[in-house]
Structure 1
Amino acid sequence: MSLSPVPRPVLRRFGNASAAILFLLALVLATAVRAEQADFALTLLHTNDVHAHIADFDAMGQECTADKESQGKCLGGAARLATAIAQARAEGGNTLLVDAGDWFQGTLAYSRFKDEALRAVTSRLGYQAMAPGNHEFDDGPAVLASFLSGVPFPMLACNMDASAEPLLAGKIAPYAVLDVGGRAVGVVGVANEDTASLSSPGENVRFMAAEEPLRAAVAELAAQGVNIIIAVSHAGFERDKVLAAAVAGLDVIVGGHSHLLLANGAPEAVGPSPLRISGPDGETACVVTAGSWGKYLGRLNLRFDAAGRVVEAEGDPRPMDAGMAQDPDMAALVATYEERLAPFRATAVGSLETALPLDRGDCRGAECLIGDMAADAVLAAAARHEARAALVNAGSIRAGLPAGEVTLGAVLTTFPFGNTLVVCDLLGADLMAALEHGVSLAHDPLGSGTGRFPMVAGLRYAFDPAREAGSRILSAQIQGPDGKFSPVDPAATYRVAISDYLSRGGDGYGMLKDRAKNVLLDGRTMDEMVAGYLAAHSPLAVALDGRIERKEKGE
């Protein structure tokens, strides 16, 4: 049976519709394929300022005992980070784990083992790139070189020149191109521009302002066809915002140094995560930072188009608290180091009637209990050298001390740097200049560089952080042999106790380096001085006594 022919006009109409439908389907499929190829999803995991906290710790920054663990009072630690990182990687997408510097320094683990423990822990966590923090240079180039020789990931800094330093030459590149899920991702490092004054990199390592080196690195990456570019920066939060606005081509800046948290809803956050900054090309750069000590694992979920533009960016740092399980393998590795530290932790050196907490905002912009005690301990140790006053930079204090028995381990955790006692003669004018420099950033106690804030003993001073540079110190008095205070005389000479770090001009105290006379190197370390002070005065009661008076404008 033959079929009647379909009328031609219908066939034409049907045929045209079919072709159109098929064409549209092909176009949709081709577009989907291109979109699938062009779209690139990336989970960026990030940390900063871990400061050698490989073991978990309590709210004071001290050792987490079994009791505290059972009560859910412990935070951080490499074992929690390991679990969170593994969970993110197990989701199956593209992940990139980076750090923005200062894994070194801050706990007994670093004080005793230097880079040994950190090499093992960071390698096992699986970092893919890291920036150098200023504390990476605290023990000079040698310890950093040892660390770099034992880790499988690159350390990056575009604004640092170590070519003249034999131990570091060729070991820190400006940037790296990483293959992440088949896509080239450029990672550029930024070192802290003030590292030479904040730490001990030596005369052969130079640090530059970051803008031009960063532009050059981005341009080189673009010339290689890399259109996804992430910066890991230890420049500090305020500088990171400036760099994001000044340098075109950056997609993300992972920041460190300021110990600040960007998060959505966390009470301690200083802004949202990510913080979006408009660059000079009109594109948006995302700034993220995850607090300090490994209390959070930063996470940013990104999606890029074919041109490398960020089309989606959302995420939040994840707290490393009691709700995060500890990876057993990492916990076992950390335990091997903790067992070796046990003898140091166990020795009691004295006791405190009340806790001496460390609040970064308070101790870097005002008088605080732990700062008073530290300065008192230094002045007591320097009494044999007839020192009348002591000056301690707040950044040298890294944790609080608990009430009750205080162990050597707790003291070493609080004062981990091994800074030694130096006594010198200073003109009153230079002492005033040191105080003026010390309060120069106190208007923003959470900002970069505020570790210079001066804790004092045998001195009293009042300041107004809002006044013009050179006029912030409103008054300063020094204690005499009779215990009475009198105004600092600019023309008089005073015997002052400081640390070897400050005597070298650390934290920008150039006047202590250049103008001190009759310098005596005592050699006792900060932990020795504090332990001795506690032993002599236990049970020690510490109370604020008004030695530092902060007066806001108009008061």
Structure 2
Amino acid sequence: MRALKITLSILAAATLASCASGPGQVSGPVKLTILHTNDHHGRFWKNSDGEYGLAARKTLIDQVRAEVKAAGGHTLLLDGGDVNTGIPESDTQDAEPDFKGMKLIGYDAMALGNHEFDKPLPVLAKQMQWAGFPMISANIYKDGQRLYKPFEMFDRGGLKIAVMGLTTDDTKKMTDPANTVGVEFRKPADEAAKLVPELRKQAHVVIAATHMGHYTDGKSGVNAPGDVEMARQVKGMDLIIGGHSQNPVCMLEQLGASRRNDAYVPGTACRPDVQNGTIIVQAHEWGKFVGRADFVYANGELKLEKYSLLPVNLKRTVKAPDGKDIKQTFTPEIKEDPAMLALLQPFQDKGRAALDVVVGESDGVLDGDRARVRSQPTNMGVFIASVMMQKAQADLAIMNSGGIRDSMPAGKLTYKDVLKVQPFGNMLAHVTLNGTELMAYLNAAAKMSTGAGAFAQFAGVNLVIEGGAVKSATIKGAPIDPAKRYRLAINSFQAGGGDGYPKLSDHPGYVNTGFVDADVMREYLSKNNIRIANFAPGEAVVRR
């Protein structure tokens, strides 16, 4: 691995040096269409409403490519990262159908996202082989050397295009620490500042494919700085193809439609963000859209002619003539590509066979909505923490909300429902702490910001939190005693310092049970039907 890293660095340096005199002149105007996606998260197959999926995506991209070629133009297809994690059929097969499907579509390059590190590095190496296209990042280091290829060069009609990859420096705290031992995620803007001037010497166009997030006006909050902050800091990038924040970057507030970027409606006029001369785009999530940016390069200048987000069979609810609600696509339905379906069908069949087994039942919906579970106690958060606490025979439990990825419906529940909620394969752990240590940990959990994946869900403890500090804490009606010992249930991700929690995996009282979190939930469901009234958040945690 070390030899490979050094070789990549030498090759990159040699390529830069050989082009120090510049990329040369371009003969005549060049039409260039950039297509982009991001945050695929395992959605290789269409959903139950027939939306998105790689088969329809391929048809749409093939149509655009044919149109552009007929007009004498060229295309480049890029992705902003996070192909992994989200749908059990994909998760249980290490995203093999997803990467092989993207290869069939003909992706040119993608940024490495934080979820590419949800599994050990050998799995990522295997995924790179399946993909066959460059998966790049300039700011990931090991032993002082870049671990992956930092950029890729392309030629489109004599136009030299450099595509640089960058990954959020939050990755280390957002993934299982065991997967990134010895790996360093340096600040993307610092790496861009070093690399962009060199890339400008050899390319007419410089693009950053990033997995950092778009935060309006650079207000990233608890997250690491994203695309806006980097564009303001580093000049010289023509375009940023983004991901991570999973929002469609259409500056709707400038158009007077809405101040919420995630409120984008297909067909609405769309304009990308522009910061310090750099255009910033992002195509929401899951392959719901393919972003299309049509450029013309002439006289040393790249000009954006038109930008749009193309929906992939997205549907809205409309009234039928008989008054019933029906689902209808925003645009004419896109047919699924037969070759893609032939590739993916065996993976879908294999995944469903194991996942469609009914494992339990609920008398109501367990709310794991991303926005709510990261900002307030929900019955899903209390349920998961309670299940952890019961299995570990603990006094209390804390669950990071970033590990809760979906809601659960009322009625029959399948193993797929379980894995949609907990797809990461974290282990149930517990640690025995004295009261003083426990209060310190509770205070750390209380400080986790609203809206972040670190936001804590609790079971077994009643808390009053004021200004991010614990003002009172009781377990079974009694205040926490500094001299008493308590068993706390958490997952292995948190225990290793994930999401910025204090590391407990090296505490003398730490035990990794070896039980996978999703299997713990499955076991509970096989023995107990869920009564959601038992998991109502109530007033157990009061924040002031």
- Report if TM-score (shorter chain) is over 0.5: yes
CA contact (8 A) 2:396 2:488 kept: yes
Cα distance per residue 1:400-448 (max 9 Å; x no partner): 21211001122122211111111102344544444454455634x2xxx
What is the one-letter code of the residue matched to 2:289? Y
Cα distance in 1, alignment partners of residues 149 and 438 from structure 2 = 41
- Secondary structure, aligned partner of 1:42: strand
Shift in Å at residue 509 of structure 1?
1.4
CA contact (8 A) 1:367 1:548 kept: no
* Structure 1 residue 527 corresponds to structure 2 residue 518: yes
Q: Within 5 Å, which residues of 2 pair with 1:5-154? A: 37-57=27-47, 64=48, 73-92=49-68, 93-154=73-134
In structure 1, the residue matched to 2:454 is: 452
Residue in structure 1 matching 2:289, options 270, 285, 296: 296
In structure 2, the residue matched to 1:27 is: none
Cα distance in 2, alignment partners of residues 533 and 461 from structure 1 = 26
- Secondary structure, aligned partner of 2:525: helix
Query: Which stretch shifts more, 388-397 or 320-329?
Result: 320-329
CA contact (8 A) 2:136 2:164 kept: yes
What is the one-letter code of the residue matched to 1:523? G
Shift in Å at residue 244 of structure 1?
1.0
What is the one-letter code of the residue matched to 1:544? A
In structure 2, the residue matched to 1:355 is: 365
CA contact (8 A) 1:101 1:233 kept: yes
Shift in Å at residue 364 of structure 1?
0.9
Cα distance per residue 1:440-490 (max 9 Å; x no partner): 5634x2xxxx211111111233446xxxxxx4135453422xxx3x44456
Q: Note closer, same or farther for the CA distance 1:549–1:423 as it changes in structure 2 (3 Å cut).
A: closer
In structure 2, the residue matched to 1:254 is: 241
In structure 2, the residue matched to 1:6 is: none
* Structure 1 residue 331 corresponds to structure 2 residue 341: yes
Shift in Å at residue 181 of structure 1?
3.5
* Structure 2 alignment gaps of length 5 or more: 1-24, 215-219, 221-225, 265-269, 316-328
Query: Which stretch shifts more, 315-324 or 85-94?
Result: 315-324
In structure 1, the residue matched to 2:326 is: none
In structure 2, the residue matched to 1:211 is: 189
CA contact (8 A) 2:44 2:54 kept: yes
Residue in structure 2 matching 1:510, options 502, 507, 530: 502
Cα distance in 2, alignment partners of residues 181 and 473 from structure 1 = 60
Identity fraction in percent = 29
CA contact (8 A) 1:305 1:311 kept: no
Tell me which structure has the larger Cα radius of gyration: 1
Q: Note closer, same or farther for the CA distance 1:513–1:519 as it changes in structure 2 (3 Å cut).
A: closer
Residue in structure 2 matching 1:404, options 399, 411, 422: 411
Shift in Å at residue 206 of structure 1?
1.6
CA contact (8 A) 2:370 2:405 kept: no
What is the one-letter code of the residue matched to 1:503? A
Cα distance in 2, alignment partners of residues 266 and 123 from structure 1 = 36
Q: Note closer, same or farther for the CA distance 1:528–1:127 as it changes in structure 2 (3 Å cut).
A: same
* Structure 1 residue 477 corresponds to structure 2 residue 473: yes
* Runs of 4+ with deviation above 6 angstroms: none
Q: Note closer, same or farther for the CA distance 1:539–1:203 as it changes in structure 2 (3 Å cut).
A: closer
CA contact (8 A) 1:379 1:497 kept: yes
Shift in Å at residue 313 of structure 1?
5.0
Shift in Å at residue 176 of structure 1?
1.2
Cα distance in 1, alignment partners of residues 196 and 263 from structure 2 = 27
CA contact (8 A) 1:107 1:416 kept: yes
* Structure 1 alignment gaps of length 5 or more: 1-34, 58-63, 65-72, 465-470
Cα distance in 2, alignment partners of residues 367 and 125 from structure 1 = 41
Cα distance in 2, alignment partners of residues 89 and 177 from structure 1 = 20
Q: Note closer, same or farther for the CA distance 1:218–1:36 as it changes in structure 2 (3 Å cut).
A: closer
Cα distance per residue 1:11-34 (max 9 Å; x no partner): xxxxxxxxxxxxxxxxxxxxxxxx
Cα distance in 2, alignment partners of residues 51 and 490 from structure 1 = 44
Cα distance in 1, alignment partners of residues 401 and 341 from structure 2 = 32
Cα distance per residue 1:310-359 (max 9 Å; x no partner): 35453235254253432232233222111112321232111111122432
What is the one-letter code of the residue matched to 1:246? Q
Q: Note closer, same or farther for the CA distance 1:534–1:278 as it changes in structure 2 (3 Å cut).
A: same
- Secondary structure, aligned partner of 1:510: coil
Q: Note closer, same or farther for the CA distance 1:302–1:494 as it changes in structure 2 (3 Å cut).
A: farther
Cα distance in 1, alignment partners of residues 158 and 540 from structure 2 = 57
Cα distance in 1, alignment partners of residues 237 and 40 from structure 2 = 24
CA contact (8 A) 2:367 2:373 kept: no
Question: What root-mean-square deviation, in Å, do the aligned CA atoms of Structure 1 and Structure 2 show?
Answer: 2.7
Cα distance in 1, alignment partners of residues 153 and 345 from structure 2 = 35
- Secondary structure, aligned partner of 2:309: coil
CA contact (8 A) 2:433 2:509 kept: no
Residue in structure 2 matching 1:230, options 186, 190, 207: 207
- Secondary structure, aligned partner of 2:31: strand
Q: Note closer, same or farther for the CA distance 1:202–1:378 as it changes in structure 2 (3 Å cut).
A: same
Across the two proteins, how many residue pairs are aligned to each other? 476
CA contact (8 A) 2:448 2:456 kept: no
Cα distance in 1, alignment partners of residues 56 and 464 from structure 2 = 43
Residue in structure 2 matching 1:381, options 375, 383, 391: 391
Shift in Å at residue 548 of structure 1?
6.1
- Secondary structure, aligned partner of 2:261: coil
Cα distance in 2, alignment partners of residues 412 and 198 from structure 1 = 19
In structure 1, the residue matched to 2:170 is: 194
* Structure 1 residue 371 corresponds to structure 2 residue 348: no
Cα distance per residue 1:339-385 (max 9 Å; x no partner): 112321232111111122432111111112322221121112112xx
Shift in Å at residue 130 of structure 1?
0.7
In structure 1, the residue matched to 2:314 is: 321
Cα distance in 2, alignment partners of residues 307 and 432 from structure 1 = 61
Query: Which stretch shifts more, 537-546 or 150-159?
Result: 537-546
Shift in Å at residue 249 of structure 1?
0.5
Shift in Å at residue 151 of structure 1?
2.3
CA contact (8 A) 2:90 2:351 kept: no
Shift in Å at residue 125 of structure 1?
2.1
Q: Note closer, same or farther for the CA distance 1:380–1:547 as it changes in structure 2 (3 Å cut).
A: farther
In structure 1, the residue matched to 2:231 is: 244
Q: Note closer, same or farther for the CA distance 1:479–1:404 as it changes in structure 2 (3 Å cut).
A: same
Cα distance in 2, alignment partners of residues 40 and 492 from structure 1 = 73
Cα distance in 2, alignment partners of residues 547 and 332 from structure 1 = 52
- Secondary structure, aligned partner of 1:451: coil
In structure 1, the residue matched to 2:138 is: 158
* Structure 1 residue 540 corresponds to structure 2 residue 531: yes
Cα distance in 2, alignment partners of residues 547 and 101 from structure 1 = 39
CA contact (8 A) 1:274 1:287 kept: no
Q: Note closer, same or farther for the CA distance 1:314–1:111 as it changes in structure 2 (3 Å cut).
A: closer
Cα distance in 1, alignment partners of residues 204 and 522 from structure 2 = 54
Q: Note closer, same or farther for the CA distance 1:244–1:477 as it changes in structure 2 (3 Å cut).
A: same
Cα distance in 2, alignment partners of residues 406 and 271 from structure 1 = 30
